[in-house]
């Protein structure tokens, strides 16, 4: 069989997390319309009769490095190229962005086989424009494959999976066939709460919050989860809590339902909202919140 690590790269908000979730047939990475929703390196393991693809979903590669959090996200995305066997570069439609030139340079330095997956192809009606863009892309870089896809609509994802498996090296499986990730239930509980916050609060709190699991207790029929939502200002705390606590109550209810679906048992979820000023621009604060800790990188 074939087996190897596959890095999913691209700019923020192009659909990398949605793509991985659909390839796996299970939701692991949280999603929203906001850039920088993905903040961690997340492993998703797909095992079939033909092989095992170990997908690595990463934060988007972007130019803004004003805050410590932004620099951490870029570093996490860049480091993913070390130790993988294949890269899938997800592009948003038929156009290049200024920062894509930096991605080209990083790929040239890495010397890895690359599949270009052009996302949101279901929204493009002009076949000639598609063919012309593919020809241009082939001149820019020696892509092994250029595949039009729709991560959201599942268009051509079976073809993409086949091409990925074929390009991976011949090797025995690294993980057991029933394992789908290297992350803990505790990690995913925090991510699910953060997803509900991001989706519910819209543009009011773009990047100024994170979630920390204070305690995670497993009981025979119930898991008890105690989580703190950290914001940077008191005014943000009021937004998260909402009028008479209604916003926090709704976020907790939605998160609890998704966590129960993920872990397969009843969940008691307790949420608090606290202020930690300037956490997104403080390396010490990020370290204390576990933001700088990632699982072992592939060798």
pLDDT of 61: 59
If one compares 116 and 27, the residue with the highest pLDDT of the two is 116
* pLDDT tens by residue, 258-270: 999 888 899 999 9
pLDDT of residue 158 exceeding 50, the answer is yes
The dihedral through the CA atoms of 147, 151, 155, 161 has a sign that is positive
Closest listed residue to residue 34, CA positions, set 65, 13, 8, 11 = 13
pLDDT of residue 121 exceeding 80, the answer is yes
Distance between CA atoms of residues 286 and 38, nearest Å: 15
Segments of the chain assigned to CATH 3.30.300.20? 185-288
* Average pLDDT for the chain: 83
pLDDT of 295: 44
Choice among 29-33, 105-109, 204-208, 261-265 with the minimum mean pLDDT: 29-33
Cβ proximity of 2 and 170 under 8 Å: yes
The Cα-based distances of 60 to 55, 66, 99, 180 in angstroms read 15, 15, 11, 22
Neighbours of 84 (CB within 10 A): 21
What is the average per-residue pLDDT within 174-185?
89
Left, alpha or beta for 10 (phi > 0: left; psi -120 to 50: alpha)?
Answer: left
Choice among 8-22, 179-193, 256-270, 283-297 with the minimum mean pLDDT: 283-297
Structure tokens at 209: 């919050």
Number of Cα atoms under 13 Å in the Cβ half of residue 74? 14
pLDDT of residue 282 exceeding 50, the answer is yes
What is the average per-residue pLDDT within 277-296?
58
pLDDT of residue 206 exceeding 60, the answer is no
Q: Per CATH, is 185-288 categorized as 3.30.390.30?
A: no
CATH, domain range 2-167 = 3.40.50.300
pTM recorded for the entire structure:
0.76
What is the average per-residue pLDDT within 191-200?
87
- Locate tokens 């892509």: which residue? 143
If one compares 13 and 23, the residue with the highest pLDDT of the two is 23
Distance between CA atoms of residues 86 and 115, nearest Å: 8
Segments of the chain assigned to CATH 3.40.50.300? 2-167
């Amino acid at each position: 069989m074939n087996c190897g690590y596959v890095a999913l790269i691209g700019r923020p908000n192009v659909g990398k997390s949605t793509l991985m979730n659909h390839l796996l047939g299970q939701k692991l990475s949280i999603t929203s319309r906001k850039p920088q929703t993905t903040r961690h390196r997340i492993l998703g393991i797909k095992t079939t009769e033909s092989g095992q693809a170990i997908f690595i979903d990463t934060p988007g590669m972007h130019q803004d490095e004003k805050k410590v959090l932004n620099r951490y996200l870029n570093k996490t995305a860049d480091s993913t190229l070390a130790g993988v066997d294949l890269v899938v570069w997800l592009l948003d439609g038929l156009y290049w962005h200024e920062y894509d030139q930096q991605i080209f340079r990083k790929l040239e330095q890495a010397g890895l086989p690359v599949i270009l997956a052009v996302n949101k192809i279901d929204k493009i009606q002009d076949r000639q424009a598609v063919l012309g863009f593919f020809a241009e892309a082939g001149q820019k870089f020696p892509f092994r494959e250029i595949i039009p896809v729709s991560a959201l609509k599942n268009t051509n994802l079976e073809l993409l999976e086949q091409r990925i498996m074929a390009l991976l090296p011949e090797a025995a499986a690294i993980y057991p066939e029933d394992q789908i990730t290297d992350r803990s239930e505790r990690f995913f509980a925090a991510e699910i709460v953060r997803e509900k916050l991001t989706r519910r609060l819209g543009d009011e709190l773009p990047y100024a919050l994170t979630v920390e699991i204070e305690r995670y207790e497993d009981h025979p029929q119930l898991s008890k989860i105690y989580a703190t939502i950290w914001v940077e200002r008191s005014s943000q705390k009021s937004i998260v809590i909402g009028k008479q606590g209604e916003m926090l109550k709704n976020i907790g209810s939605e998160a609890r339902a998704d966590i129960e679906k993920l872990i397969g048992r009843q969940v008691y979820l307790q949420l608090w909202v606290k202020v930690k000023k300037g956490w997104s621009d403080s390396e010490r604060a990020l370290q204390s919140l576990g933001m700088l800790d990632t699982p072992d990188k592939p060798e």
